Amino acid sequence: MAGLISGVLLLGGLMFFQGSFTSIKNMLPALRGGFIDDRAQADIDAWLHFGVDPWILLHSVLGQDWARSVIEFNYNVLWFILCFGALFFVATSPSADGIRKRYLLLFAFVWIGCGNILAGLFLSAGPAFYGAVVGDQARFAGLIAFLSRGDGGSSAAEYQTYLWALHESGSAGLGSGISAFPSIHVGLITLNALFLNGYSRRLGVVAFAYVAFIQISSVYLGWHYAIDGYVSMTVVVAAYYALMAFLKRRWERTHPTVTVPSLPVAS
């Protein structure tokens, strides 16, 4: 019964939280006067990858339809199951009592700190929408053409078309709002990897390998510039260890070591 109540409360809180996040995200282009940082972020991306947009490097290795289908399913479906499944487990399971507050605090930080605050400060739409916001249709034309071959419920191209239609109409919808920098996908899965690594180093290795796969997928599918993921990883890791250091110092202040006086030595 307690688990059911916790689940219902979590669902209600999550709906309110996600609704607030989406509302702010939908407002960002109007507040910033459009997507103003795409060209700069794309150029930084190319500079970091030896003068080549990184999606070109990825597609030269994984430019097959079967690879796109696998990556789309993982990125658009499996990621949600893993991240929100982890949230449900931590919020409701008694075995997660020791990490619950830390996890939920950092979970909220990723959405608000990365997804609203940093996104608003450095607003970009991402490679899939680069032509529409910058006016340069050629730079990512090959990427858009490749993604348009996808079909089915997990197609990145279909979801990107849906998001842009909502943006142009000024409407809100399920999952609406466009911002690329930094990557929430990479940020949340990095958070999970950090907690798993604290539990088991072996699981941590697997979890961080999955972080790398999500990072690659975000660029491969045109959702993000590579720096979106690099910044997310850096910010989340820094926040995680900063929180751990803060909690350690607070524990040491409230639980000072008791010094037992030594016995006098007989002469």
Taking the C-alpha atoms of residue 14 and residue 16, their distance in angstroms, rounded to an integer, is: 5
Average pLDDT, the chain: 88
Instruction: Give domain status of residue 19, yes or no.
Output: no
Residue 41 one-letter amino acid: Q
Instruction: Give domain status of residue 14, yes or no.
Output: no
Does residue 22 have a pLDDT over 60?
yes
Instruction: Give domain status of residue 238, yes or no.
Output: yes
Instruction: Give domain status of residue 5, yes or no.
Output: no
pTM equals 0.88
Q: How confident is the model at residue 175 (pLDDT cuts 50, 70, 90)?
A: confident
Range of the domain at 156: 34-248
Q: Which two tokens stand for residue 2?
A: 């307690």
Q: How confident is the model at residue 154 (pLDDT cuts 50, 70, 90)?
A: confident
Instruction: Give domain status of residue 256, yes or no.
Output: no
If one counts the domains in the chain, the total is 1
Taking the C-alpha atoms of residue 129 and residue 149, their distance in angstroms, rounded to an integer, is: 17
Q: Which two tokens stand for residue 210?
A: 């999955």
Does residue 124 have a pLDDT over 70?
yes
Instruction: Give domain status of residue 220, yes or no.
Output: yes
- In this prediction, residues 196-225 reach a mean pLDDT of 96
Instruction: Give domain status of residue 3, yes or no.
Output: no
CA distances, 142 to each of 2, 20, 76, 137 (Å): 52, 35, 21, 10
Phi, psi at 27, each rounded to 5°: -80, -20
**What are the pLDDT digits (tens) for 54-97?**
999 999 999 999 999 999 999 999 999 999 999 999 999 998 99
Instruction: Give domain status of residue 235, yes or no.
Output: yes
Specify the DSSP class assigned to residue 151.
-
